[in-house]
Amino acid sequence: MVREFLAKAFQLLSRYAADAGDSEEWRVKKTIYSTVGIITVFNWLPYAVVYFVFNERSAAAICLTASILQALVLLHYRVFRNYDIAVSCSVLMYTLAITTVHILLGGFAPSGMVMLFLLTNPILMLVAYKPSHGLLLYVVNAALFITAAILEPHYLRTSNNLPQNIITALLIVNILNVATYMIFGTYYFLRQNEILSRKVLVEQAKSESLLLNILPKEIVAILKNENRVIADQFDSASILFADVVDFTPLSATMAPTELVELLNDVYSYFDSLVGKYGLEKIKTIGDCYMVASGVPRRRPDHALVLARLALDIRDYASRHAFRGHRLSFRIGLNSGPVVAGVIGRRKFTYDLWGDAVNTASRMESHSVGGSIQITETTYNLIKDEFVCEPRGTIQVKGKGEMPVWFVIGER
Q: How far apart are CA 87 and CA 12, in angstroms?
A: 20
Residue 232 pLDDT greater than 90, yes or no = no
Answer whether 284's CB lies under 8 Å from 299's CB.
Answer: no
User: What are the residues whose beta carbons fall under 8 Å from the beta carbon of 57, sequence distance 6 or more?
Assistant: 51
Instruction: Quickly state the pLDDT bin for 216 (edges 50, 70, 90).
Output: confident
Answer whether 334's CB lies under 8 Å from 239's CB.
Answer: yes
- Read off the pLDDT of residues 148-198 as tens digits, 9 standing for 90 and up: 999 999 999 999 999 999 999 999 999 999 999 888 877 877 877 788 788
Q: Could you tell me the fold of the domain covering 227-410?
A: Alpha-Beta Plaits (3.30.70)
Among 4-8, 88-92, 134-138, 369-373, where is mean pLDDT lowest? 4-8
Using the 8-state DSSP alphabet, how is residue 163 labeled?
A: -
The mean pLDDT of 363-392, rounded to a whole number, is: 93
- The sign of the CA dihedral 277, 279, 285, 288 is negative
- Read off the pLDDT of residues 375-387 as tens digits, 9 standing for 90 and up: 999 999 999 999 9
SS3 call for 136: helix
Q: What is the pLDDT at residue 262?
A: 86
Residue 348 pLDDT greater than 90, yes or no = no
Of 355, 356, 359, nearest to 397 (Cα)? Answer: 359
The answer to whether the pTM exceeds 0.85 is no
Of 179, 185, 95, nearest to 143 (Cα)? Answer: 95
Q: Where are the alpha helices (DSSP H) in 278-368?
A: 302-319, 355-365
Residues of the chain with CATH 3.30.70.1230: 227-410
Q: Concatenate the DSSP letters of all residues of 185-247 into one string.
A: HHHHHHHHHHHHHHHHHHHHHHHHHHHHHHS-HHHHHHHHH--S-EEEEEEEEEEEEEEETTH
Q: How far apart are CA 329 and CA 371, in angstroms?
A: 7
Instruction: Quickly state the pLDDT bin for 234 (edges 50, 70, 90).
Output: very high
Q: Which amino acid is at 273?
A: L
**Pairing mode, if any, of strands 325-326 and 350-353?**
unpaired
CA angle 396, 398, 403 (to 5 degrees): 30
pLDDT mean across residues, the chain: 89
Q: What is the pLDDT at residue 1?
A: 64
Q: How far apart are CA 86 and CA 4, in angstroms?
A: 29
Answer whether 162's CB lies under 8 Å from 54's CB.
Answer: yes
Answer whether 52's CB lies under 8 Å from 101's CB.
Answer: no
Q: What is the pLDDT at residue 117?
A: 95
Instruction: Quickly state the pLDDT bin for 41 (edges 50, 70, 90).
Output: very high
In the chain, % of residues over pLDDT 70: 97
In the chain, % of residues over pLDDT 90: 60
- Read off the pLDDT of residues 100-110 as tens digits, 9 standing for 90 and up: 999 999 999 99
